[in-house]
Structure 1
Amino acid sequence: MTLVPYLKNGELFLKDLGISEINEEIIEEYWARPIEELTLNFIPINDEGEGLRVLKSMGFEVSVTSREIKSAFLKRTRGVCSICGREGEVVANRAFIYPFERKIDSIVNEKNRLSFCLEHAFKLYSAMANLFIVPLGRERLKFFFDAEEETLRRMLFMFKQFWRDRVEFEKGKVRVGMTLRTYNPNETFFSILHEFVKFLKRRRLLQEAIDLGKLVRVFLVYGTGQFYGSEVIEGIKLVELINFLSEIQEKGRETKKYKRQDSAVALFFENLSVPRGKDKKKNTLEREEFIRKLLDGKFDFILLNRIFMERYKRDLPLPFYYLTWVRAYFKAFGGDIVDLRTFERVNGLGYSLGKMVRGTNLEKYVWELFRARGFEEFVNKLVELQAKLEIAMDVRPIYENEKEWKTIKAILLNGMLNAIHGGEEDEGH
């Protein structure tokens, strides 16, 4: 649950303001400070109406009838605090206090809604100071960090330096500048992380971020209305992702459209979409799922193969820098279902087969292999192709990984497709 990690951000913010005790006078004096910090102090908040307008523009689902902020802390009833468990006067939760409460009006009894003592209500409200928000059409991606106090303070200082370079507030709207254009929450966080790694390298802060990252968790929350999704990226995964992106960035080459550090990331990422119509969010659902798994340390070759096949069918370019991404993944994460040696052997076999069948009627075997529904059928189709080509093949890595045959099939097909339909010259080697 995000409640306690989010609370820690509010506690840290108030501590750094020198506030140790919460009462009505403190709330009267400091209510605007968390909102101003949410905007990185780009927008001064002079009254509650202005504060509410900013919160609405940032994606807080504030009621249309809300006219005040401070009064939310003054209207208290008898109850039990959802954090400390003390009985007494409590504040009913509002979207600007703890914005991640699941609210399904037809199911949830009002008696089960969150409520907080005055101290914890204002600490949660203050946590927005360390919340980061990215607009995604009608949705918002919200994320925040969690760590021990000093680590959290250092991480926030570093990230907010970066965030100030990326965020713009104009005409009541927030815009986050990114090289990669995204439409879904997980891919958006991946894009932000890509920009953050570039920033760290420019400032020579990469190693410090890696040292901090081991001790930090990131909470992602996204959605709209009464439903939302969430992900947690643990510290070790965060470091692996930073190393992964750093490795890919170093392999890029300057293009007309992209700088060197962007090209190897962007030219793979952008070609992961499957065009089906005008709705770009729907066109990138497979990419979103692939990136969601990558954020969890998994490189889904099977899903990637489905994307490759759809693009092959539509005669669209395959993602560039495929091998760069795969090798960077094995280097940063250490592998998942198969190891690097197995990947290289199977991919190399696929690439060689693709070269042989390219432009011939045997190219149809890409689909024959793709449609294979069991290990035996897959091997039979492979042997059939081998006979037609009149070649010898080293199929040992396929038999050695029979239990993971679907992943092996996907790797083989991706290698074939890179030889047949695109990729770089060394994609099979």
Structure 2
Amino acid sequence: MLDAYLKNGELFLKEIGVTEITPEAISGAYLKPINEMTNGYVYVESDTEAIAILRRFGFELSGKTKDILSGLTKGKKGTCSICGKKTEVVPNRAFIFPFERKIDSIVDESNRLSLCSEHAFKLYSAMAYLYTVPTGAGMLKFFFDAPERDLKAFKRTFKDDFWRRKFKVEKHEKNGKQQYSIKLSLALSRYHPNEAFFAVLHEFVKFLKDVDELEETIEAGRTVRTYLIYGSGQFYREHVIEGTTLEKLIGFLDKIQEAGKEMSWGTRHLDIWDSAVVTFYESLEIPRGKDRSKNYLEREEFVRKLLEGRFDFVLLNTIFMERLKRKLALPPYYYTWAHSYLEVFGGGVVDVKTFEQVNGLGYSLGMKMRGTNLERYQWELFRARGFEEFLNKLVELQAKLEESLDLRPVYENQGEWKVVKAVLLNGMLNALHGQGKKDNSDRNNPKEGSE
């Protein structure tokens, strides 16, 4: 991650014309990366303003930090952790490389990063292309890495065109002090970091289609790696999305967006590209109490796996059952999400054909169960703790319905029976409690229906 972050700093310095890093160059340009990070909405003129902005962006600066320039220039003899030169070095600060893992009681101070002025300033300058998204209780930060030509092209589209429209920093005064607020317009809520990136990606795909640059950006972005960094205090977690996965995620979101219809959903008006994404995503809540962030722990985990290239049917089935227990509607557009994901990413545990067969089996059973006293089997199947128990309940249900259905997809995937059970149950639940994957006439009512 250190090298990838450094590359962003090098690109920014090239673009502002800094070809040689000298004390004079640092002194003249050290506020420019902060200005760029704010998208130019705030003109930073002093260290006091710069430090306040960095803290607002979630940089964990010490309370003793009074200026930035000295932290980049005033050092002592040592060895640079990047280039290995024995020269004058500065210790790493949160505003130089903000993602160093530092645990005071374990890591000796001498083992921390120390940097020559050139590499310190290059790392510091990388914040210009660091993106920040406020979440429920913290911040997600992310940046991109690619060969320089591709990185420059992707940066031009993402930051210069898209991010400048979406991200804004506002300056205001309170009790005689300057304060800063971050404004980011997103259609999806985000209480956790992976949700935050998914929300940004949804907006980015809409933007690319709006300006007719989707295919061009996918082509340029295949080599682009995304680094998501989140956490606080002494710890940071890192999640890397490879370019090929990013390409598929864009294709997946494009498919879902195109499946939507303009509609009213509760008090919200949703346009075509928002409806299928928003209504499913926002319905993954399991209400727990006053702290709403806890309602979305399962959604955060589900989205984290999506970003890794996995569609977790088992987790989704748990969410469905918990919502059913609370008498809440099933998420609309389930079939669209699942089928689109498998189409784009290919089969893992379940491929498109197996999904269609098992989902269809569950849906057929559910339709035949409607209006009978056999709906309890949805819970008995859910609680089955082994393949034999699951199969016995399934056969028992068939017998009570006096139906003979093809169970070969279940037998053929015995080794992944938990996933098969989840897919079957999700199809069954849609038949029992939703509108079905073909009948979406009541999508305008968020309390009913599931695709």
Q: Secondary structure at the match of 2:168?
A: strand
* 1:166 matched residue in structure 2: 166
Q: Deviations over 1:56-106 (max 9, x none)?
A: 111111111111000102221222211112222111000000000112222
Measured in 1, the distance between the counterparts of 2:409 and 2:181 equals 54
* 1:318 matched residue in structure 2: 330
Alignment of 1:280-291 (within 5 A): 280-291=292-303
Matched, 1:422 2:421: no
* 2:310 matched residue in structure 1: 298
Tell me by how many angstroms 1:242 deviates.
Answer: 0.3
Q: Deviations over 1:193-212 (max 9, x none)?
A: 00000000111110111001
Contact 1:319 1:423 in 2 (8 A): no
Structure 2 letter corresponding to 1:229 = R
* 1:114 matched residue in structure 2: 113
Q: Deviations over 1:219-256 (max 9, x none)?
A: 00011222221110000000000000001100001112
* 1:262 matched residue in structure 2: 274
Structure 2 letter corresponding to 1:16 = E
* 1:236 matched residue in structure 2: 244
Q: Secondary structure at the match of 1:240?
A: helix
Measured in 1, the distance between the counterparts of 2:38 and 2:272 equals 31
Measured in 2, the distance between the counterparts of 1:425 and 1:376 equals 29
One of 247, 258, 273 as aligned partner of 1:250: 258
Q: Secondary structure at the match of 2:270?
A: coil
Measured in 2, the distance between the counterparts of 1:200 and 1:95 equals 34
Cα 1:232–1:423 change in 2 (3 A) is: farther
Alignment of 1:352-367 (within 5 A): 352-367=364-379
Measured in 2, the distance between the counterparts of 1:26 and 1:17 equals 11
Structure 2 letter corresponding to 1:384 = E
* 2:70 matched residue in structure 1: 71
Tell me by how many angstroms 1:110 deviates.
Answer: 0.9
Q: Deviations over 1:380-423 (max 9, x none)?
A: 11111111111101000000111111100000000111111124
Q: Which runs of 5+ in 2 are unaligned?
A: 173-179, 440-449
Measured in 1, the distance between the counterparts of 2:379 and 2:368 equals 16
One of 360, 378, 382 as aligned partner of 2:394: 382
Matched, 1:4 2:3: yes
Tell me by how many angstroms 1:139 deviates.
Answer: 1.1
Equivalenced residue count is 428
Alignment of 1:22-421 (within 5 A): 22-160=21-159, 161-170=161-170, 171=172, 172-256=180-264, 257-421=269-433
Q: Deviations over 1:18-57 (max 9, x none)?
A: 2222111111110111001101111111111111111111
Measured in 2, the distance between the counterparts of 1:104 and 1:53 equals 25
Measured in 2, the distance between the counterparts of 1:208 and 1:44 equals 33
Tell me by how many angstroms 1:278 deviates.
Answer: 1.6
Tell me by how many angstroms 1:273 deviates.
Answer: 1.2
Contact 1:144 1:219 in 2 (8 A): yes
Measured in 2, the distance between the counterparts of 1:423 and 1:219 equals 39
Measured in 2, the distance between the counterparts of 1:403 and 1:237 equals 27
* 2:444 matched residue in structure 1: none
Measured in 2, the distance between the counterparts of 1:53 and 1:182 equals 24
TM-score normalised by L of structure 2: 0.93
Tell me by how many angstroms 1:156 deviates.
Answer: 0.6
Identity of aligned residues (%): 57
Measured in 1, the distance between the counterparts of 2:103 and 2:299 equals 29
Structure 2 letter corresponding to 1:182 = R
Q: Which runs of 5+ in 1 are unaligned?
A: none
Measured in 2, the distance between the counterparts of 1:64 and 1:127 equals 23
Q: Secondary structure at the match of 1:272?
A: coil
Q: Deviations over 1:335-376 (max 9, x none)?
A: 211111111111011011111222432111111111111111
Shifted more, 385-394 versus 122-131: the winner is: 385-394
Measured in 1, the distance between the counterparts of 2:19 and 2:387 equals 64
Measured in 2, the distance between the counterparts of 1:59 and 1:173 equals 12
Structure 2 letter corresponding to 1:296 = E
Shifted more, 252-261 versus 80-89: the winner is: 80-89
Measured in 1, the distance between the counterparts of 2:258 and 2:275 equals 10
Contact 1:184 1:288 in 2 (8 A): yes
Cα 1:337–1:425 change in 2 (3 A) is: closer
Tell me by how many angstroms 1:279 deviates.
Answer: 1.3
Contact 1:321 1:424 in 2 (8 A): no
Q: Deviations over 1:98-121 (max 9, x none)?
A: 000112222211111111111100
Q: Deviations over 1:121-160 (max 9, x none)?
A: 0000000000000111441100000001111111111011
Measured in 1, the distance between the counterparts of 2:198 and 2:136 equals 17
Contact 1:169 1:175 in 2 (8 A): yes
Q: Secondary structure at the match of 1:145?
A: strand
Tell me by how many angstroms 1:168 deviates.
Answer: 2.1
Measured in 2, the distance between the counterparts of 1:360 and 1:230 equals 50
How much is the aligned-residue C-alpha RMSD, in angstroms? 1.3
Contact 2:333 2:437 in 1 (8 A): no
Contact 2:9 2:126 in 1 (8 A): yes
Q: Deviations over 1:155-204 (max 9, x none)?
A: 11101111111112223011211001110100110010000000001111
Measured in 2, the distance between the counterparts of 1:201 and 1:425 equals 26
Structure 1 segments, 4+ long, off by >6 Å, are none
Contact 1:329 1:335 in 2 (8 A): no
TM-score normalised by L of structure 1: 0.98
